């Protein structure tokens, strides 16, 4: 271009200067001892309250917290990875770990662990610890345990004629039918938001067949077990035991359980805290938790939870590990449990009276005896999302159970195509 | 129908239509002054029982909305200034300065107007990543610094500048830069206001690209912050309305004060074909 | 030649920006759409494969893509005529010789256009709430049962169309008003001397005189409505039952949620082709109508 030989307006540079600043101002200066932490939802809000202790121990480290909403978290993390803008320390759902390991985004933690006295692998529940190990390498330290079970209205269940929560699908069905008869057409037995995959996943994981086959090369959704799970899931909606809504339409699940809009709700430990806080005192003895019912007896649930991971691109790995150790210490975890209701992954923390004395946590402890891991493939988040979309269509009657399972299997096989290609070439996905 | 009958009917229709268009905005304003939970009742209340600023206080206090407001303002201002400069230079050049390949270039630009900007978005992200600009304001501002629409808008207007004026200045020995700053820019003032309002509003309201390219919460613009907040605080109706008011009010005020220029832009833009 | 260099120098910064940040990405999108660029490739570029037209082929066989196309088509086919009708009607009303305060009404009708889409979409989400929303409350007064606007797959897209019409009709109204101004007054006077009614005036003079404007406005509006994204992103997140997933929303999820950049680029090009085809069709139909 001939632009170089002509009079160049010198003020162009002046105008561009603020831009250069904008470029530089985007990221924190590297020489400071700053640890950036991302955490999701409620944990993101609570972590700030734990920090004063840490700052007392390490006054020279500045911690910057960013709170991500759960619905946007996965995507946000991938964008950050693509844009090389990942934080130092991050809360990561343990089913997402394989994906970020495949991206080579996470720092292996075995060496830090070997040197650490604060984090002791033997103190952690082995099932949960294992979800952080991919190909023999440790990539995360469990922060809290998560699984799904029943929250229910004791009083409404009693009114419907049942003294105990259900242990089998059949018992549960009878209760849902009785409650529906009791509360009428405007109210329901259970809330299963259509934009969440958790319940169907729990029902499927209770089946004997694995969800993927051949080392995660293909889907296994044509199995008899998945058919049974999907069929039961559809029946709950078909009989109008559950309203066909998603969670954006139920703006306040806590109030709605209090009002008896539904009597069962399948959720995780954080809701112990939410219900305790949000329901009025006179309603506190009307709700309780119970383990998941299974096809023919007490059922399994998912071995979920979140881990703390350090990103490979971090320039403050030592500081991030210090913060990780602090957040993993039994004292901090006890306090974290008090603030969130999130269940700690360490046996020593469970011995604290706050936890062993909590009525609502008992069901979780029982459930944790029966948790199953999810397949460790990077595509898992996409697969469960496809499963949810399929289930939504089955609930609305667009697809039969057979068609839904068949379509899902085909889609999952397509999603796993690249994984198969990589595996066949001996590369680790 | 008699003239007065027609007039009554006409105004009834006009008032009805105005009520429908303005109602959501007025309701938003009203609910933003309600106490938490007040609007989620049946029948839905129209006016706050006791007006309160609590929502605004919470937004500025706990939700950091002042930060997002500043971000939006500085981003929009920066984009507007830079794009005015670049577009007016180019628009003027395409109208009044003869240079090689001018006409074919003009045709290429005109044809490119039909390509939706989203086509460029995915590689643009990879490019920003490659330049290390993801998660910086530069990623939002730099691609918006010049646009085909802006160049054409200025060009159309600059065509009306009399050539004699420019020739006279050249004969007097003025440099091209000097001619641009002392003759062309003043003559372009009205269209620059128009383009400025357009760019500012466009940048303020822009959603998809900043959503993709800004990951750090501290860099969020108001629309991104509001969309994020509204996913977390679905139940906090009143708080969201206060956020919406803060997002909408600045642009609405800007439009009301510069309405004439804005509408001219629409009309010029629509005759470009 | 001094002026020649100055011309280049003046145009260069803008052209450089447009080339680097628009033309180059558009061309790269074409190349990326022929590869399987995904997360694995992002992690290690050796995992990138050239796949020819596979992305396009797969999309054309994917029911989810076709659902997005159908949703977008529905949005355009219903939304554009509704939007144009509202624009034209309001322009005629405001422009009427009998109207007082036309400046006020013009501003009132135009106000939604300049509002921030995300913000007013949030407002509408509450107005459309099944149980506490004012729209259902108002409908109840005329005996209509509550509609689950954003939760019922049959109603979610119509709700978004209503919102889009409300948000956009003022823009085209302004253009129509200017076009109405330019119709010579003596045409109407002549018609009145012939004893034409108001409706006949509309059919014989106003609409035919507006035809070029109508074509232009409908082309611009169609292109705009094809790019539906922020409304479903804020109001429904594509649900319920994928009933509000537009082509652009599909592209966004494919590209920036699952990072299948190859397939997402193919979606972008297919969207571009769709817009081009519909525009060409519009021009063709108008020409045929004029020829007759």
Percentage of the residues of chain A whose pLDDT score is greater than 70: 92
Nearest C-alpha of chain B: how many angstroms from C5? Answer: 7
Is C256 in the B-facing interface, judged by CB distances under 8 Å? yes
Query: Within this chain, do residues A162 and A129 fall inside the same structural domain, yes or no?
Result: no
Q: What's the pLDDT at B201?
A: 92
Helix boundaries (H) for A261-329: 270-278, 317-328
Predicted ipTM of the assembly: 0.87
Enter the tokens of residue C61: 């066989």
Nearest C-alpha of chain A: how many angstroms from B82? Answer: 7
CA distance C76 to A386: 27
Please, which chains are in contact with C (at least 3 CB pairs closer than 8 A)?
A, B
Is C14 in the A-facing interface, judged by CB distances under 8 Å? no
Query: Within this chain, do residues A323 and A222 fall inside the same structural domain, yes or no?
Result: no
Query: Within this chain, do residues A277 and A414 fall inside the same structural domain, yes or no?
Result: yes
Instruction: Answer yes or no: are the C-beta atoms of A391 and A403 closer than 8 Å.
Output: no
Chain C, window 61-120: residues with a beta carbon less than 8 angstroms from a chain B beta carbon: 90, 93-94, 96, 98-100, 104-105, 107-112, 114-120
Show residues of chain C in contact with B18, CB under 8 Å: 104-105, 108-109
Please judge whether A78 and C257 are an interchain contact, meaning their C-beta atoms are less than 8 angstroms apart. yes
Site from B24, B261, B264 to mutate, C interface, most C CB atoms within 10 angstroms: B24
Q: What's the pLDDT at A9?
A: 36
Please judge whether A2 and C42 are an interchain contact, meaning their C-beta atoms are less than 8 angstroms apart. no
Please judge whether B78 and A22 are an interchain contact, meaning their C-beta atoms are less than 8 angstroms apart. yes
Is A297 in the B-facing interface, judged by CB distances under 8 Å? no
Query: Within this chain, do residues A391 and A263 fall inside the same structural domain, yes or no?
Result: yes
Nearest C-alpha of chain C: how many angstroms from B55? Answer: 15
Q: What's the pLDDT at C257?
A: 85
Please judge whether A15 and B40 are an interchain contact, meaning their C-beta atoms are less than 8 angstroms apart. no
Query: Within this chain, do residues A163 and A268 fall inside the same structural domain, yes or no?
Result: yes
Task: State the residue range of the domain holding A61.
Answer: 34-146+303-357
Nearest C-alpha of chain A: how many angstroms from C222? Answer: 29
Among the listed residues B76, B84, B90, the one whose alpha carbon sits nearest the alpha carbon of residue B140: B76
Q: What's the pLDDT at C9?
A: 92
Average pLDDT over residues A59-64: 91
Model confidence pLDDT, tens digit, residues C78-137: 999 999 999 999 999 998 888 888 889 999 999 999 999 989 998 998 899 887 889 999
CA distance A78 to C39: 9
Model confidence pLDDT, tens digit, residues A91-116: 999 889 998 998 889 999 999 999 99
Among the listed residues B76, B67, B82, B80, the one whose alpha carbon sits nearest the alpha carbon of residue B216: B67
Q: Is the pLDDT of residue A89 over 60?
A: yes
Determine the residue of chain B that is closest to C277 in CA distance: B114
CA distance A107 to A87: 12
Task: State the residue range of the domain holding C246.
Answer: 55-291
Show residues of chain B in contact with A82, CB under 8 Å: 125, 129, 134
- For the four alpha carbons of A236, A242, A245 and A250, in that order, the dihedral sign comes to negative
Enter the tokens of residue C62: 């994917």
Query: Within this chain, do residues A345 and A213 fall inside the same structural domain, yes or no?
Result: no
Assign B269 a pLDDT band (cuts: 50, 70, 90).
Answer: low
CA distance C68 to C65: 5
Is B92 in the A-facing interface, judged by CB distances under 8 Å? no
Show residues of chain C in contact with B146, CB under 8 Å: 13-15, 17-18
Q: What's the pLDDT at B270?
A: 61
Among the listed residues B56, B57, B55, B38, the one whose alpha carbon sits nearest the alpha carbon of residue B47: B38
CA distance A151 to A169: 16
Is A84 in the B-facing interface, judged by CB distances under 8 Å? yes
Q: Is the pLDDT of residue C2 over 70?
A: no
CA distance B10 to A159: 60
Among the listed residues A408, A369, A356, the one whose alpha carbon sits nearest the alpha carbon of residue A386: A408
pLDDT, greater one: A156 or B228: A156
Average pLDDT over residues C65-82: 96
Site from C257, C262, C263 to mutate, A interface, most A CB atoms within 10 angstroms: C257
Average pLDDT over residues C27-41: 92
The contacts of residue B12 (CB under 8 Å, 6+ apart) are none
Nearest CB among B136, B232, B237 relative to A22 is that of B136
Nearest C-alpha of chain A: how many angstroms from C204? Answer: 48
Look-up of token digits 């409650």 = A179
Average pLDDT over residues C124-153: 88
Q: Other C-beta atoms within 10 Å of C212: how many?
A: 13
Site from A98, A246, A313 to mutate, C interface, most C CB atoms within 10 angstroms: A246
Among the listed residues C77, C28, C101, C72, the one whose alpha carbon sits nearest the alpha carbon of residue C242: C72
Nearest CB among C7, C175, C261 relative to B93 is that of C7
Please judge whether B248 and C137 are an interchain contact, meaning their C-beta atoms are less than 8 angstroms apart. no
Instruction: Answer yes or no: are the C-beta atoms of B56 and B64 closer than 8 Å.
Output: no
Query: Within this chain, do residues A208 and A340 fall inside the same structural domain, yes or no?
Result: no
What is the count of structural domains for chain C?
Answer: 1
What is the count of structural domains for chain A?
Answer: 2
Is C242 in the A-facing interface, judged by CB distances under 8 Å? yes
Q: Three-state SS across B234-272?
A: CCCHHHHHHHHHHHHHHHHHHHHHCHHHHHHHHHHHHCC
Please judge whether B116 and C275 are an interchain contact, meaning their C-beta atoms are less than 8 angstroms apart. yes
Query: For position A83, which CATH number holds?
Result: 3.40.190.10
Assign A303 a pLDDT band (cuts: 50, 70, 90).
Answer: confident
- For the four alpha carbons of B150, B154, B157 and B159, in that order, the dihedral sign comes to negative
Query: Within this chain, do residues A202 and A137 fall inside the same structural domain, yes or no?
Result: no
Chain C, window 129-188: residues with a beta carbon less than 8 angstroms from a chain B beta carbon: 131-134, 137, 166, 170-171, 174-175, 178
Is B257 in the A-facing interface, judged by CB distances under 8 Å? no
The answer as to whether A367 is a domain residue is no
Please judge whether C241 and A393 are an interchain contact, meaning their C-beta atoms are less than 8 angstroms apart. yes
Instruction: Answer yes or no: are the C-beta atoms of A33 and A316 closer than 8 Å.
Output: yes
pLDDT, greater one: B231 or B68: B68
Please judge whether B232 and A26 are an interchain contact, meaning their C-beta atoms are less than 8 angstroms apart. no
Query: Within this chain, do residues A297 and A317 fall inside the same structural domain, yes or no?
Result: no
CA distance A32 to A35: 9
Query: Within this chain, do residues A259 and A318 fall inside the same structural domain, yes or no?
Result: no
Nearest CB among C21, C26, C256 relative to B119 is that of C26
With 0-12 / 13-18 / 19 or more C-beta atoms within 10 angstroms meaning exposed / middle / buried, residue A188 is buried
Q: What's the pLDDT at C124?
A: 93
Q: What's the pLDDT at A168?
A: 96
Nearest CB among C8, C13, C239 relative to A195 is that of C239
Average pLDDT over residues B78-98: 95
Is B176 in the A-facing interface, judged by CB distances under 8 Å? yes
Average pLDDT over residues A35-62: 90
Query: Within this chain, do residues A129 and A223 fall inside the same structural domain, yes or no?
Result: no
Q: What's the pLDDT at A27?
A: 45
Q: Is the pLDDT of residue B271 over 60?
A: no
- CATH classification for the domain delimited by B58-270, as one of 2.102.10.10, 3.30.950.10, 1.10.3720.10, 3.40.50.300: 1.10.3720.10
Q: Is the pLDDT of residue C1 over 60?
A: no
Please judge whether C5 and A75 are an interchain contact, meaning their C-beta atoms are less than 8 angstroms apart. no
Show residues of chain C in contact with A78, CB under 8 Å: 39, 256-257, 259
Model confidence pLDDT, tens digit, residues C253-289: 999 888 899 999 999 999 999 999 999 998 888 888 7
Determine the residue of chain B that is closest to C126 in CA distance: B237
Please judge whether A102 and C43 are an interchain contact, meaning their C-beta atoms are less than 8 angstroms apart. yes
Please judge whether C43 and A427 are an interchain contact, meaning their C-beta atoms are less than 8 angstroms apart. no
pLDDT, greater one: B237 or B248: B248
Query: Within this chain, do residues A110 and A157 fall inside the same structural domain, yes or no?
Result: no
The answer as to whether C36 is a domain residue is no
Please judge whether C4 and B99 are an interchain contact, meaning their C-beta atoms are less than 8 angstroms apart. yes
The answer as to whether A109 is a domain residue is yes
Average pLDDT over residues B21-41: 89
């Amino acid at each position: 271009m001939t632009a170089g030989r002509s009079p160049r307006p010198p003020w162009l540079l002046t105008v561009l200067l603020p831009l250069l600043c904008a470029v530089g101002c985007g990221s924190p200066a590297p020489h400071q001892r700053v640890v950036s932490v991302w955490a999701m939802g409620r944990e993101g809000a609570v972590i700030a309250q734990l920090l004063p202790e840490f700052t007392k121990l390490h006054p020279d480290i500045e911690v910057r917290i960013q709170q991500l909403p759960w619905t946007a978290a996965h995507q946000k993390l991938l964008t950050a990875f693509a844009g090389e803008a990942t934080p130092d320390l991050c809360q990561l759902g343990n089913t997402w770990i394989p994906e970020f390991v495949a991206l080579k985004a996470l720092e292996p933690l075995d060496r830090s662990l070997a040197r650490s006295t604060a984090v002791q692998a033997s103190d952690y529940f082995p099932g949960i610890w294992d979800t952080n190990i991919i190909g023999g390498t440790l990539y995360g330290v469990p922060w809290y345990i998560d699984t799904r079970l029943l929250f229910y209205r004791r009083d409404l269940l009693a009114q419907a004629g049942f003294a105990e929560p259900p242990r089998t699908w059949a018992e549960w069905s009878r209760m849902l039918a009785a409650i529906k008869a009791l509360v009428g057409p405007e109210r329901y037995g259970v809330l299963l938001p259509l934009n969440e995959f958790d319940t169907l996943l729990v029902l499927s994981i209770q089946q004997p067949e694995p969800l993927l086959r051949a080392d995660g090369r293909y889907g296994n959704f044509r199995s008899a077990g998945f058919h049974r799970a999907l069929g039961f899931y559809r029946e709950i909606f078909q009989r109008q035991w559950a309203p066909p809504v998603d969670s954006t339409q139920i703006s306040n699940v806590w109030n709605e359980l209090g009002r008896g809009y539904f009597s069962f709700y399948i959720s995780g430990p954080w809701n112990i805290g939410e219900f305790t806080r949000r329901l009025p005192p006179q309603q506190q003895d009307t709700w309780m938790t119970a383990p998941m019912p299974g096809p023919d007896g007490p059922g399994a649930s998912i071995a979920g939870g979140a881990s703390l991971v350090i990103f490979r691109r971090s320039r403050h790995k030592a500081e991030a590990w210090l913060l990780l150790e602090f957040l993993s210490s039994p004292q901090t975890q006890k306090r974290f449990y008090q603030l969130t209701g999130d269940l700690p992954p360490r046996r020593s923390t469970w011995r604290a009276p706050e936890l062993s004395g909590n009525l609502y946590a008992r069901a979780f402890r029982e459930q944790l005896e029966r948790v199953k891991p999810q397949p460790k493939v990077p595509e898992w988040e996409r697969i469960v999302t496809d499963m949810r979309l399929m289930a939504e269509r089955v609930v609305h009657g667009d697809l039969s159970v057979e068609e839904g399972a068949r379509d899902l299997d085909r889609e999952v096989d397509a999603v796993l195509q690249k994984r198969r290609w990589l595996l066949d070439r001996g590369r680790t996905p | 129908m008699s003239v007065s009958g027609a007039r009554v009917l006409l105004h009834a229709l006009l008032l009805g239509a105005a009520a429908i268009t303005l109602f959501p905005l007025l309701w938003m304003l009203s609910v933003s002054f309600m106490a938490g939970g007040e609007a989620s009742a049946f029948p839905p209340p129209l006016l706050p029982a006791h007006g309160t600023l609590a929502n605004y206080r919470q937004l500025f206090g706990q939700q950091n909305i002042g930060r997002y407001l500043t971000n939006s303002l500085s981003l929009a201002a920066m984009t507007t200034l830079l794009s005015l400069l670049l577009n007016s230079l180019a628009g003027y050049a395409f109208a009044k300065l003869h240079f090689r390949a001018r006409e074919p270039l003009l045709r290429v630009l005109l044809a490119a107007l039909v390509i939706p900007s989203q086509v460029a978005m995915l590689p643009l992200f990879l490019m920003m990543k490659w330049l290390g600009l993801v998660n910086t304001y530069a990623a939002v501002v730099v691609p918006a610094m010049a646009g085909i629409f802006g160049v054409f808008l200025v060009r159309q207007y600059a065509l009306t500048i009399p050539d004699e004026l420019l020739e006279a200045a050249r004969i007097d020995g003025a440099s091209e830069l000097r001619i641009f700053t002392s003759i062309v820019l003043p003559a372009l003032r009205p269209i620059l206001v128009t383009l400025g309002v357009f760019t500012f509003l466009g940048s303020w309201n822009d959603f998809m690209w900043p959503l993709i390219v800004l990951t750090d919460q501290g860099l969020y613009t108001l629309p991104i912050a509001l969309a994020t907040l509204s996913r977390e605080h679905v139940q906090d109706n009143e708080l969201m309305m206060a956020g919406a008011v803060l997002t909408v009010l600045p642009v609405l005020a800007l439009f009301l004060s510069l309405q004439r220029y804005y509408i001219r832009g629409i009309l010029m833009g629509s005759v470009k074909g | 030649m001094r002026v020649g260099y100055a011309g280049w120098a003046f145009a260069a910064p803008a052209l450089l920006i447009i080339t680097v940040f628009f033309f180059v990405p558009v061309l790269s999108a074409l190349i990326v759409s022929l590869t399987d660029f995904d997360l694995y490739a992002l992690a290690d570029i050796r995992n990138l494969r050239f796949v020819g037209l596979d992305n396009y082929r797969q999309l054309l066989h994917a029911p989810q893509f076709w659902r997005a196309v159908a949703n977008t088509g529905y949005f355009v086919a219903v939304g554009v005529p509704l939007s144009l009708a509202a624009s034209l009607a309001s322009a005629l009303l405001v422009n009427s010789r009998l109207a007082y305060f036309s400046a006020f009404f013009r501003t009132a009708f135009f106000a939604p256009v300049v509002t921030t889409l995300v913000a007013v979409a949030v407002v509408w989400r509450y107005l459309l709430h099944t149980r506490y929303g004012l729209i259902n409350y108002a409908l109840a007064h005329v005996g209509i049962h509550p509609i689950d606007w954003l939760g019922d797959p049959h109603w979610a897209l119509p709700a978004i169309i209503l919102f889009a019409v409300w948000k956009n009709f003022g823009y085209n109204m302004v253009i129509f008003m200017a076009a109405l101004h330019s119709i010579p007054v003596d045409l109407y006077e002549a018609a009145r001397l012939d004893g034409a009614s108001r409706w006949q005036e509309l059919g014989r003079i106003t609409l035919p005189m507006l035809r070029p404007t109508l074509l232009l406005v409908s082309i611009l509006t169609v292109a705009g409505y094809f790019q539906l994204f922020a409304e479903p992103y804020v109001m429904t997140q594509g649900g319920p039952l994928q009933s509000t997933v537009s082509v652009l929303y599909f592209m966004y999820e494919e590209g920036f949620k699952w990072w299948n950049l190859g397939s997402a680029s193919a979606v972008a090009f297919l969207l571009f082709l769709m817009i081009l085809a519909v525009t060409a069709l519009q021009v063709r139909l108008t020409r045929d109508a004029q020829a007759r």
